[in-house]
Amino acid sequence: MSIFAQFGVEPIINAAGPLTRLGGAPMPDAVVEAMRQATRDAVPIEALQAAAARVIARSTGTESALVTSGASAALTLGAAAILAGNDLARIDRLPDTSSMPNEFLVARDQRNGYDHALRAAGARLVDVGMNEVVAGSGVRPVEVADYMIARSERTAGILFVERPGIQPRLADVVAWAQAASLPVLVDAAAELPPASNLRSIPGTGADLVCFSGGKAIRGPQATGILCGKQRFIESAALQMLDMDEVIDLWDPPKDFIDRSRWPALPRQGIGRGFKVGKEQIVGLLVALELFVHDSPDPKRSTPRRVERLRAELQRAGIETIQEHAGGLDFLIPLEKRGADVARRLRQGKPSVYVRLESAGLRIHLGCVREDQEGALLEALLRELKASLVD
């Protein structure tokens, strides 16, 4: 029996992918075991975060890194680090940014719900570009020149939300930002796989990059990575860690925090509510190593499982489209009635969650256990056939 049933909550079949609202991705056994072992011993969290920084830096090629409580928290901490740096008075005032440059430039078509994460630190988002292509009134997408025009003495940095094929390219925005001495914070939360993005996105020279730990990496659901320039990571760390320490006793690992830059200790900072436990840190590191070096269990066999499920649906006369060969997901085109089918799948027994898109239903096998495949196929056949008859 599921542990959740003990609390009166029925588990579902998650065929929608590693979504936070469905509890994220299942963790590999090695990750769970590492977390179990981490509960036994006490360690100074600062030392553990410094060790994590070294492990993550090896995979990302960055100077330093911090394990956060998610990519969204990494965005808040990254913004706080850019806004306040090592200025203790600014750190103390956040999220009140009335007396400091507080604007982040962001391409108009990159705005999304996660801008709240930056605003929580006190940042003000300033849209750049006109998006004429979307409106149909022109030929130009957002361009680097739009950042140039929007820049003012109030500009603190650039927010860039990375997506494949996005215009202008991150590398071009970073090149301009570096010339303009403006730091760039990148939201790359869901840009894994491919694992090569762990290196190539920070490799553009962006100052700070955020990845989610509970999506493709399959670490603990409430983890994320903030990686990049040491001086920003140091500021983010001190705004997140428990700072009830005595300065005379304070001796942080030198490569993680340059103590000479801190004449006094900040108080509990704006990120204190985003604390990360030792189990989460260790779990994320083990998951990251598995993800980078080779992800043994389900992932490897998942493309074969995708093929198998698509073949079964095809046999029943149900069309499927796989846009990314070797990917974990595919689309069942359903122009109408997609919402009806998705709702009935949720209401079924077992309850099945799929992703509803304008073009149809997206099935993602990344979070479907092998022993759930039969029940998933059965539910899809039942509801899709019923929708054909309707």
Ligand X SMILES: *Cc1c(COP(=O)(O)O)cnc(C)c1O
Site residues, ligand X (CB under 6 A) = 20, 70-72, 114, 161, 187, 189-190, 212, 214, 224
Neighbours of 84 (CB within 10 A): 27
- The nearer residue to ligand X, 106 or 334, going by C-beta atoms, is 106
Q: What are phi and psi of 181, to 5 degrees?
A: 55, 45
- The nearer residue to ligand X, 163 or 231, going by C-beta atoms, is 163
Inter-residue contact 208 to 239 (CB < 8 Å): no
- Cα angle: 226, vertex 287, 44; to 5 degrees: 60
E-strand spans in 79-168? Answer: 103-107, 124-128, 155-161
Rounded to an integer, what is the distance from CA 56 to the centroid of its chain? 15
- Closest distance of CB 212 from ligand X, Å: 3
- The nearer residue to ligand X, 52 or 334, going by C-beta atoms, is 52
State the Cα–Cα distance between residues 125 and 170, nearest whole angstrom.
Answer: 18
- Closest distance of CB 384 from ligand X, Å: 28
- Closest distance of CB 314 from ligand X, Å: 31
- Closest distance of CB 28 from ligand X, Å: 18
Q: How far is CA 371 from CA 105, 172, 218, 306, 368, in A?
A: 47, 46, 19, 14, 8
- Closest distance of CB 49 from ligand X, Å: 17
Inter-residue contact 22 to 221 (CB < 8 Å): no
- The nearer residue to ligand X, 184 or 341, going by C-beta atoms, is 184
State the Cα–Cα distance between residues 250 and 283, nearest whole angstrom.
Answer: 27
Q: Cα-atom radius of gyration of the chain, to the nearest Å?
A: 23
- The nearer residue to ligand X, 58 or 111, going by C-beta atoms, is 111
Residue whose Cβ sits closest to ligand X: 70
- Closest distance of CB 198 from ligand X, Å: 15
> At residue 149, what is the residue type?
I
- The nearer residue to ligand X, 161 or 257, going by C-beta atoms, is 161
